[in-house]
Amino acid sequence: MITIRYGHQAFEPAPGETVLECLERGGVPIHFSCRSGLCQTCLMQATGGQPPAAAQAGLKDSLKLDGHFLACICHPTESLEVALPGEGKGALAATVRGLMRLNEDILQVALECHDPIDYRPGQFINLFRDPELGRSYSIASVPGADDHLHLHVRRLPNGRVSGWIHDELRTGQTVQVRGPAGNCFYVPGQPEQPLLLIGTGSGLAPLYGIVRDALRRGHSGPVRLFHGSRQRDGLYLVEELRELARQHSNFDYVPCISGDDVPHGHAPGRAEAVALQQVPGLKGWRIFLCGHPEMVKTANRKAFLAGASMKEIYADAFHVNQAA
């Protein structure tokens, strides 16, 4: 007997019923629109059990891997525990194990979760200053390669959480986190596929995780990373990335400076402009874009027009919460 669990409730789908119909019948208001498996409004995640592949048609690879599915076309073949995307994870405690300055504005925070979490480099967690005040930070660490979970936190002007992290957080302190969430991560299975990664500022965090994850898993196709900032001191991990490029012949790293003072060994211009100049045809590429929302939006459009398929573009824009 198949059951669909949502929160504390359990429902039995009638014969031929979809998950959407079953939940609606049970009084659960799930958003929907086309009811044909196209618009993705009814996207949900199976946190237990495996949804049928037909119910995942059209979703990005990373969403499929994480058990996401479209409720309006899901005819379950086994019992499922379902949740709205991002809703599945409760809050947990983590201890700060290290605080390391990466540049003037960016601090690496190393966390040890009391209950180790299963994350993929490039996903994000929410870190809470207090139960009502949290912000999302992308994960730069790679399980197995790094001792702890690493975040790169950029200090924002008047940042209520970033300011607290930079000025008050101490090693040994316990913090509350929620997650992981997000679909911006490396999906194994196509080791030859060329990967293009473009980031600005602390957008390097998820990309640093994704690049190392891909290389550790034996990715053999080209992996090209472009990290940009207005000035040289906005960049970080430059030497580490150059060393990584020396160690892996398929990995190429280009630090980009959009301001006037472009030192030797850096490319002049905005990261996405340099990237598209150097890689003009993107058909077949998988693209990761992280950082400034304007860069992400522009690069998304340009990458698509340069031939990248919509499904291959993974964008993670770092929006600044205006209430700071």
Q: Which of residues 145-184 bind other proteins (CB under 8 A)?
A: none
Position 298 contacts other proteins (CB under 8 A): no
In this structure, the dihedral spanned by the alpha carbons of residues 144, 145, 150 and 151, taken in order and rounded to 10 degrees, is -110
Segment 1-4 long-range contacts (CB within 8 Å, at least 24 positions apart): 2/76, 2/77, 2/78, 2/79, 2/80, 3/79, 3/80, 4/76, 4/79, 4/80, 4/82
Work out which of 178, 193, 304, 320 binds other proteins, going by CB under 8 A.
304
Contacts of 264 (CB under 8 A, 6+ apart): none
Q: Which of residues 42-61 bind other proteins (CB under 8 A)?
A: 57-58
Cβ pair 200, 229 in contact under 8 A: yes
Q: Which is nearer to other proteins, 58 or 116 (CB)?
A: 58
Q: Which of residues 6-45 bind other proteins (CB under 8 A)?
A: 34-36, 38-40
How many residues sit close enough to other proteins to count as binding (CB under 8 A)? 15
State the Cα–Cα distance between residues 179 and 135, nearest whole angstrom: 11
Q: Closest distance between other proteins and the C-beta of residue 21, in Å?
A: 14
Position 133 contacts other proteins (CB under 8 A): no
Q: In what order do the strands lie in the sheet with 4-6?
A: 9-11, 4-6, 80-83, 43-48, 68-70
Strand, coil or helix: 247: helix
Work out which of 25, 305, 321, 324 binds other proteins, going by CB under 8 A.
305
Burial of 320 (0-12, 13-18, 19+ CB in 10 A): middle
Q: Closest distance between other proteins and the C-beta of residue 58, in Å?
A: 7
Position 310 contacts other proteins (CB under 8 A): yes
Q: Which is nearer to other proteins, 14 or 310 (CB)?
A: 310
Q: Which is nearer to other proteins, 182 or 234 (CB)?
A: 182
> By CB under 8 A, which span of 12-20, 158-166, 287-295, 300-308 interacts with other proteins?
300-308
List of residues contacting other proteins (CB under 8 A): 34-36, 38-40, 57-58, 300-301, 304-305, 309-310, 313
